Amino acid sequence: VADDKILCIDDLRKEASKKLPTSVRDFYNSGSTDQITIHENTTAYAKYRVRPRVLVDVSKCDPSTFCLGRKVAFPLGVSPAGLQAMAHPDGEVATARACARKGINMGISSFANYTIEDIRSAGLAVGGIGHAIQLYTMKDRELELRIIRQAEAQGCTAVFLTADSPVLGVRYNEWRSDFRTPDGLGFPILEWDSETIRKQSHDDSFVGFNDDAHNWTRDIPWLRSATGMEIWIKGVLTAEDTLKAIEMGCDGIIVSNHGGRQLDGVPATIDALPECVEAANGRIRIHVDGGIRSGTDMFKALALGAEYCWVGRPAIWGLAYDGEKGVDLMLDTFYNEFKRCMQLTGCNSVKDITKACLGVVRPYGP
Ligand code: FNR
């Protein structure tokens, strides 16, 4: 398929989805229960309008910024989403190369099909890249420590602790098709081979390894004592939990609803972001993911107070469409749209993207 068919992320979604078997496509593309949150993650962006300033010299517009202690080309990263080798055999290794080539960061899922070493070294061979290791609160602390030690040894700089998943969400699509990881794919970070995984449904295996007794006071101090990496809480949606993350001394939060795959009916992340930003009052770093599908969506998230955006499914669609080149295409699309949005709003640096850049379409009323 010629790249010129793909002009935007929605084109990529459509073309990539055509290439995937139904159960795989559903696993990647669906949300939980009634699909309300996944739908709203994207549509909620349409409530916001951009307030542009005109006749500004934007010839030197620079979308670069800083994230996880390093300079990045623009404020986007690839979220830790598991099972990328089901979209393309090169999976997370291809994603890492594309992120490094573009000069941005990546989260490594605990459910990656490649080792931390494979993913890190693929990115480093292409250029600079920052990696966060995504962790669950696991029953097996020894295994969790082994993952942490590997991540440290390989130069990951942050832990993304996924906090929204004491149990998995209600995923009818997975249950209906009895979704199983394809033969031959393993989860080397979790030390599970293909045979072990295929014996159980995703839901059953998750219950087996993840600790639903997880909590702030037990798990955050433990993690702090276990590693010097930054600790980010992934899956915060409220002012209350933002304050809790500050109280527990976390380095940052990712306002996330797991791409609408956990509890259906929670708000779109762009709608939850303002209360978290207000509660934080500059005391903790805030990133966001979920439903971001254009450079203008990124711009809106930054205007509402996020420092950095992450995308999950767009990377998977890139892989399914054309492997590493597909991820390059996805990242170039976001970059070009974001820079152009900055220029068309009169912003020369990401610091210029403030609340004043946004207006809200008022809800219907008498
Ligand atoms: C995810 N996500 C996820 N999150 C996490 O913390 N650990 C994980 O292993 C996974 N795995 C995973 C697999 C797939 C197929 C998807 C689509 C998502 C959630 C991910 O990190 C991120 O929060 C969302 O994907 C962001 O939403 P969008 O950009 O996909 O809408």
User: For the segment 129-184, what is each residue's pLDDT rounded down to a tens digit?
Assistant: 999 999 999 999 999 999 999 999 999 999 999 999 999 999 998 888 888 899 99
Our answer to whether residue 131 is catalytic in this structure is: no
User: Is residue 284 a contact partner of residue 252, using CB atoms and an 8 Å limit?
Assistant: yes
Q: Is the CB of 311 under 6 A from ligand 1?
A: yes
313 is in an annotated binding site: yes
pLDDT, tens digit (0-9, with 9 covering 90-100), for 326-352: 999 999 999 999 999 999 999 999 999
Structure confidence at residue 29 as a pLDDT band (50, 70, 90): very high
Bridge pairing between strands 131-135 and 105-108: parallel
Q: Is residue 1's pLDDT more than 60?
A: no
What integer pLDDT is reported at residue 198 of this predicted model? 84
Position 205 confidence tier, pLDDT thresholds 50, 70, 90 = confident
Q: What's the confidence (pLDDT) of residue 173?
A: 87
- C-alpha 313 to ligand 1 mean position (Å): 7
Q: Could you tell me which of 184, 217, 219, 212 has the C-alpha nearest to residue 198?
A: 184
Question: At residue 128, does pLDDT exceed 70?
Answer: yes
Helix and strand totals (H; E) in the chain:
14, 12
pLDDT at position 366, please?
87
Contact 238, 219 (CB under 8 A): no
Residue 86 above 60 pLDDT? Answer: yes
Does the pLDDT value for residue 4 go beyond 80? Answer: no
Give just the sign of the alpha carbon dihedral 144, 148, 154, 158. Answer: positive
**Ligand 1 pocket mutation, candidates 45, 109, 317, criterion most atoms within 8 A of CB:** 109
- Residue 4 φ/ψ, nearest 5 degrees: -70, -10
What pLDDT was estimated at residue 14?
Answer: 97
Position 49 pLDDT exceeds 90? yes
User: Rounded to an integer, what distance in angstroms lies between the CA atom of residue 321 and that of residue 306?
Assistant: 29
346 annotated among ligand-binding-site residues? no
DSSP state, residue 109: P
- Ligand 1: atom nearest CA of 80 is 21
Tell me, using a 6 A CB cutoff, whether residue 289 lines ligand 1: yes
Is 312 marked as binding a ligand? Answer: yes
Residue that is written with structure tokens 């349409």 in the block: 46
What is the per-residue pLDDT for 80?
A: 98
- Is the minimum distance from the CB of 77 to ligand 1 under 6 angstroms? no
pLDDT for 56: 98
CB 37 within 8 A of CB 31: yes
Please give the mean pLDDT across all residues of the chain: 96
Which pLDDT value is given to residue 5? 87
- In tens, the pLDDT along 304-326 reads 999 999 999 999 999 999 999 99
Q: Calculate the CA 270 to chain-centre distance.
A: 14
From the number of C-beta atoms within 10 Å of its C-beta (0-12, 13-18, 19+), residue 362 rates as exposed
Give the model's pLDDT for residue 2: 54
Section 262-284 average pLDDT: 98
Nearest CA to ligand 1 atom 1: 81
Q: What is the DSSP string of 287-323?
A: EEESS--SHHHHHHHHHTT-SEEEESHHHHHHHHHHH
Å from CA of 259 to ligand 1 middle: 6
Region 274-285: mean pLDDT is 98
Q: Is 213 annotated as a binding residue?
A: no
Residue 80, annotated as binding a ligand:
yes
Between 1-5, 72-76, 96-100, 186-190, the lowest mean confidence (pLDDT) is in 1-5
137 lines ligand 1 (CB under 6 A): no
65 vs 37: CA distance, rounded Å: 30
> Is pLDDT at 3 greater than 70 in this prediction?
no
Question: Could you tell me the pLDDT band of residue 360, with boundaries at 50, 70 and 90?
Answer: confident
pTM, two decimals, is: 0.97
CA distance readout (Å), 352 to 10, 239, 314: 28, 25, 26
C-alpha separations of 68 from 116, 138, 181, 354 in Å: 17, 24, 31, 21
* Average pLDDT of the segment spanning 290-300: 98
Measured CA to CA, the distance from residue 272 to residue 246 in angstroms comes to 17
How far apart are the C-alpha atoms of 46 and 359, rounded to whole Å? 11
Say how far apart CA 28 and CA 87 lie, in whole Å: 9
What is the Cα 183 distance to its own chain's centre?
Answer: 26
290 lines ligand 1 (CB under 6 A): yes
Q: Which two three-digit tokens encode residue 114?
A: 């490649």
Q: How many angstroms separate the Cα of 63 from the Cα of each of 103, 129, 217, 298, 314? A: 12, 17, 38, 11, 20
Is the complex ipTM more than 0.95? yes
Tell whether the model's pLDDT for residue 199 goes beyond 90.
Answer: no
Please count the other Cβ atoms lying within 10 Å of the Cβ belonging to residue 358: 17
**pLDDT exceeds cutoff 60 at 361:** yes
Residue 298 Cβ inside 6 Å of ligand 1? The answer reads no
CA 289 / ligand 1 centre spacing (Å): 9
Question: For a substitution probing ligand 1, which of 39, 79, 237, 319 has the most ligand atoms within 8 Å of its CB?
Answer: 79
The pair of three-digit structure tokens given for residue 142, joined into one six-digit string:
């020894």
